[in-house]
Amino acid sequence: NKWWGPFVGFDFTYRPYNECWNLYAEFEYHWGSFHGKRHVNHGDFSYFGFNDHKYHSHRAHGWVVAVGADYDLCNCWTVGLSFKFQDWHARRHHRECEDDFGDFYIDDCDGRGRNTHQWTSYAINLTIGKEF
């Protein structure tokens, strides 16, 4: 999967003068494009909009939030704890619809069966560092 495009955000860092703590936070909003592939072993889903099992959308967006703290134990050792959350969504331009005979087709219809791709991740890191 590939996500790309511009983003806006802000970073916050707070380290009091001559203190051992370093606190930080990051907040980003991304928008742009998404390319992905599906690996399906049964049937041909090309008439559902997944030609060659490829997925493409120019309607992608995502949120990235990270917070953390580092603490200097002495002049050369540091320990840190951080948390990062990411939430990404992409939506296709068209949707799956069902006609009166029970057959599916691709069109801009009433919103049923919208094709989306989403990815959410969480990370918790405990770091230990030594300055050489």
Q: In sequence order, what DSSP letters do the residues of 50-108 get, joined into one string?
A: -GGGEEEEEEEEEEEEEEEEEEE-SSSEEEEEEEEEEEEEEEEEEEEEE-TTS-EEEES
Instruction: Give the confidence band of 82 by pLDDT, cuts at 50, 70, 90.
Output: very high
Spell out the residues 6+ positions from residue 100 whose beta carbon is closer than 8 angstroms to its own. Answer: none
pTM of the model: 0.66
pLDDT value at residue 94 = 55
Query: 14-31, pLDDT tens digit by residue?
Result: 998 778 899 999 999 999
pLDDT digits 0-9 by tens, 84-131: 999 988 877 655 555 555 554 444 454 444 567 788 999 999 999 998
Q: Are 26 and 9 in contact (CB under 8 A)?
A: yes
